[in-house]
Amino acid sequence: MENSHEILLVALIATFAVIHLSRAEDQEGFISLDCGLPPSEASPYIEPDTGLWYSSDSGFIQSGKIGKIDASLPKTLKSYVTLRYFPDGIRNCYNLSVKQGTNYLMRVTALYGNYDALNITPKYDLYVGPNYWVTIDLENRISGQSEEIIYIPRSNSLDLCLVKTGTTTPMITSVELRPLANDLYITESGSLKSLKRYFLTSSDTILSYPNDVNDRIWEPKFDPEWTQISTTLEANNSNGFLVPRNVLKTAAIPANATARFNITEELDFPDDQIYLYLHFSEVQSLPISESREFDIFWNGQRQFDKTISPEYLKTTTIYSTTPVTCKGGVCNLELIRTTNSTLPPLLNAIELYAVVEFPQLETNENDVVAIRKIKAIYGLNRIAWQGDPCVPQKFLWDNLNCNSTDISTPPSITYLNLSSSGLEGTIAAEIQNLTHLEKLDLSNNNLTGDVPEFLANMKYLMLINLSKNNLIGFIPQALLDREKEGLQLFVDGEHRCLSGLCVTVTEKKIPVKTVAFVSSATVMAIIVVLVLIFLFKKKKSSNSEVLQPLPIKLGANVTSTNISEISIEVKKKKFTYSEVMEITKNLARPLGEGGFGVVYHGDINGSQQVAVKLLSESSTQGYKEFKAEVELLMRVHHVNLVSLVGYCDERGHLALVYEYMSNGDLKHHLSGKHDSSVLKWSTRLQIAMDAALGLEYLHIGCRPPMVHRDVKSTNILLDERFSAKLADFGLSRSVQLGGEYHVPTVVAGTPGYLDPDVNRGDITGIMDPNLHGDYNSHSAWRALELAMLCANPSSEKRPNMFQVVIELKECLTSEMSMKGNGQDMYSQSSPKVSMSYDTKDLPSAR
């Protein structure tokens, strides 16, 4: 029963169903970032004055420091208390997940608040992707500066960049995105920068969310030459623009009933092209003998062919379909009553927008995904590697070059120089997705494994420098053939062999069944997802249904090797047994016990904490597993895999020395014992994401690929920040993609657990009760359906680990903003999910 409970909670974890709640249906798709809010504080939270959910911005930017406004200043919104400032680098960028082609209202707020006690207000530029948007200048702006733009992203990723233009330090207080209906605020070209949005009232109340479900901010405006008329009734505002009903309750008319209604605005930039939106609703019930009818004039010219006669308690919106200009930057709006009208014109609200052109296209989306993946694989935390890699040219990423001469064509990356960058592991497969790459320099690193054949398939590649690495094996013949055609190839060692390990073998055709690895290797991912996919919940054994692991068959078994013939070649430190005893203070502090033996705490020279795993005489595992783990960990390096510090192999004494993970294993925190606190949803999601990334590296980043075969909560270790790393690789197996044999990868760990409440469509019956309902059912269902998809008996319908990671990244990104996305915490209804599976073979979730 306890095992079932454990598997289930790891389950919900790795489904990554970890989600924060959204309690307002009309906040769906909102992104509300409280910049500088430490992730350790309550995040997301509800802004008391508006009811909006705000999250920390820490998951959306890799740079910057946290500040707080001067506490002596007047009380402001909670979301304006903290800020993020950027003393380093020229361009610092937020990366946001959005929906391509969706109309967004994007608002950025900067409130200096003397956070640094220097009284030096900043001035800097804001960019949307590679295009300049607006300048933030906080001089004489005690209340801060907010800028809005209505923008349609050209991809599913949006960069918002702060660019230093002088000696002051850029800073930002909040970032907000609100999806709008796609048929509103349409331009002939460009985006719309908000200039004015106000409603005509003598009140001093500012209206925003929740009065405006799109969170537009409406400021009051009134003139002595006007008279206010109003109603206590609510108008029908369902014409698409959804103007707040409180806005439509008041209107202004000229104080002199025979005069024209007049509004004048001056532009900061006289040449701006303007789009005008006017909102009308009759607030008076007119007798049959009265009428209100008028025409609209802009700078003395009649606009719109239609004469306006507002309907009682119904909204009419008149707007520009083409931009207008204002001579000398002075804009004059006039409403003039017709000769048939007995009443003066009225106006309820007005919006003015200026056209902002964003001509520079972003870098080819596939290139952007690939280079960011390469950046993540190798841990390249370069401050200049933010925003668009190629454009604008002055912010081109270091050690890259692009073909970016034409702004109307998406640039592509043509040159990548990662020489002397401390790269470890294998040559990343994502490099092949840089399809226009001409020069690749990976020299002077610690790269291991063989030279991948995919390099020969990159048709534009004319120079490859792989020298001064630790690569082994033969250079692929296809690459040598390319060399004859003019490719410049720089490697160490002999021309065909990179190390003395190469031997002459008879070439054989790869068996057809080897191809099955592409899909069948993902079954390991499936098992992992199942182990990590459902929430932990204690069940009676009579209610348990065990989902049997799916076997993975890759070919014939490997011929057994005599242990005496096995040698371990490692570059990690080799400890003597006496040194192991000294490190562990004679095995004074055991940390846990597994099939291999007991794990003890230790420290090296009093400066480095380690965990030491000793092979016991009664261990069910042996030298083979010991050797496998050492040899695997000596050639794999990833932030989500426990690293090997050293080993001991002395007269029968076998020990592995790992980095120390201070928060122990995941099982400890999921068991509900040991007084451990209940892991928050956000923590569980991050743990799941970490585990998935580690597995993805084993499956895709390693050559030959590795299958862990024993993923379970005791083999997921947590550091002081609860970052997760996979451990215990003794049962792992490599899969030869091009060799003459294959190894079995049958699951050697714990089978997955399928809760019967899935079959009944009861999501609340599956979730961990210790969470007390603190989850969003939308994400729970999404996670569950990902799990079901991974368990599909048909390999063609199962995602590979890379696809699982992509889906989890979406879950993680949406989780950061989903506190306000409108799914009730107790709802058991499911939104439309894009994934599908064979309902004939799997129980339906609903």
What is the per-residue DSSP string for 356-417? E---SPPP-HHHHHHHHHHHHHTT---TT--S-SS-SGGGPPTTEEE----TTS---EEEEE
Does residue 270 sit in helix, strand or coil?
A: coil
CA triple 708-711-715, angle to 5 deg: 110
Query: Residue 154's closest CA among 306, 465, 365?
Result: 365
Q: Which listed residue (710, 728, 755, 768) is catalytic?
A: 710
User: Which residue is it, tokens 């970052």?
Assistant: 723
Q: Is 613 annotated as a binding residue?
A: yes
Tokens of 672: 């509900």
Bridge partners of 644, per DSSP, are 658
Residue 214 to residue 581: CA distance in whole angstroms = 65
Listing from the earlier edge strand, what are the strands of the sheet with 157-164? 91-97, 157-164, 123-128, 131-137
Residue 821 to residue 297: CA distance in whole angstroms = 41
Compute the CA torsion angle 791, 792, 796, 797 (nearest 10 deg): -100
User: Which residue is it, tokens 């969706």?
Assistant: 102
- How many alpha carbons lie under 13 Å from residue 401 in its C-beta half-sphere? 8
Determine how many CB atoms are found less than 10 A away from the CB of residue 256: 10
Q: What is the DSSP letter of 717?
A: E
Among positive and negative, which fits the CA dihedral 413, 418, 424, 426? positive
Alpha-carbon separation of residue 488 from 234, 336, 443, 462, 479 (angstroms): 74, 76, 14, 6, 10
Residue 62 buriedness (CB in 10 A; 0-12 / 13-18 / 19+): middle
Is 710 an annotated catalytic residue? yes
Distance of CA 662 to the CA centre of its chain: 27
Q: What is the DSSP letter of 617?
A: T
Query: Residue 64's closest CA among 35, 31, 41?
Result: 35
| Stretch (H or E) spanning 803 | helix 801-817
Tokens of 807: 């889906």
Determine how many CB atoms are found less than 10 A away from the CB of residue 707: 32
CA triple 500-701-712, angle to 5 deg: 115
Amino acid identity of residue 668, one-letter, is H
- How many alpha carbons lie under 13 Å from residue 592 in its C-beta half-sphere? 17
Q: What is the DSSP letter of 791?
A: T
What residues form the annotated binding site? 613
Q: Which residues are annotated as a binding site for ATP?
A: 613
As annotated, the active-site residues are 710
